[in-house]
A and B are shown apart, each in its own frame.
Chain A
Amino acid sequence: EAGVAQSPRYKIIEKRQSVAFWCNPISGHATLYWYQQILGQGPKLLIQFQNNGVVDDSQLPKDRFSAERLKGVDSTLKIQPAKLEDSAVYLCASSLEGGQNTEAFFGQGTRLTVV
């Protein structure tokens, strides 16, 4: 079974530029998550989708971050404009559904460096 695919693996941009990350979840997984992992910290949830609807985006900095999941499959996360503090690994995860005991599968992440 193919895992969660993310691209690109690495990205370096200057502050105030924009960037987009792409995620393809495991086939059939209804729930998709984006997490931000700053160096030395645990991942922090940015947004959760159930199919193509947003379930929780309370931790998403909406003035600069946006995410969408068209057709309930692939998802993109965008940052515009980027700040230095956005340097982090952005992890995408998916699960069959959103129940508490449902395992979430993570992609390898996109490492963003803002200079």
Chain B
Amino acid sequence: GNSVTQMEGPVTLSEEAFLTINCTYTATGYPSLFWYVQYPGEGLQLLLKATKADDKGSNKGFEATYRKETTSFHLEKGSVQVSDSAVYFCALPTGGGNKLTFGTGTQLKVEL
């Protein structure tokens, strides 16, 4: 079945630093790819998505490009803020429809 592997955390950065969270996937075909974010005490929220190869999803300064050559969907942000501190999950649909398989999550902590 489809699966994702994402880098382990926690990741600790200073404010305004560059962020990369790696995500690679194994899938049948070319499913949509997602990044979800979970802020402290809140539910999961969709951060961005890409629906086909070479698509770039973007939102709130975050970007991720769907790369089929490397089966990757790395999350990047040029300048992180303290408010970006959260847990980030890479995900993809599995078994048809939009049932999601999630990675283990990467905790990001941004300090002043």
Interface residues in chain A, defined as those with a beta carbon under 8 Å from any beta carbon in chain B: 3-4, 31, 33, 40-45, 48, 55-56, 91, 93, 95, 98-109
| Segment with Cβ contacts to A, from B12-20, B44-52, B60-68 | B44-52
Residues in chain A near residue B96, CB distance under 8 A: 100
B93 contacts A42, CB within 8 Å? Answer: no
- Majority SS of interface residues in chain B? loop
Residues of B within 8 A of A40 (CB): 104-105
Residues of B within 8 A of A3 (CB): 43
Contact of B99 among A41, A45, A91, A103 (CB under 8 A): A45
- Contact at B104–A56, with CB atoms within 8 Å? no
Q: How many residues of B contact A (CB 8 A)?
A: 25
Q: State whether B97 touches A43 (Cβ < 8 A).
A: no
B contact set with A: CB distance below 8 Å: 31-32, 36, 41-46, 49, 51, 89, 91, 93, 95-105
Contact of A101 among B36, B42, B98 (CB under 8 A): B98
Q: How far is the CA of A44 from the CA of B95 in the complex (A)?
A: 13
Contacts of B100 in A (CB 8 A): 43, 45, 104
Given the interface contacts A42-B89, A100-B32, does A108 sit within 8 Å of B41 by beta carbon?
yes
Beta-carbon contact of B41 and A56 below 8 Å:
no
- Please determine whether B44 and A103 come into contact, CB atoms closer than 8 angstroms: no
Query: Besides A44-B102, A103-B46, 4 other CB < 8 A contacts?
Result: A31-B97, A41-B105, A106-B43, A107-B43
Q: In the complex, what distance in Å separates the CA atom of A48 from the CA atom of B100?
A: 11
Q: Is B102's CB under 8 angstroms from A43's CB? A: yes
Instruction: Please report the C-alpha to C-alpha distance between residue A110 and residue B3 in the assembled complex, in whole angstroms.
Output: 25
Q: In the assembled complex, which residues on chain A have CB atoms less than 8 Å from the CB atom of B105?
A: 40-42
On chain B, the residues within 8 Å of A41 by CB distance are: 104-105
Provide the bound-state CA to CA distance between A105 and B42, in Å. 12
Least CB separation from B97: chain A residue: A98
In the complex, A56 Cα to B105 Cα: how many Å? 24
Residues of B close to A42: CB separation below 8 A: 89, 91, 101-105
Q: Which of A91, A100, A107 contacts B98 (CB 8 A)?
A: A100
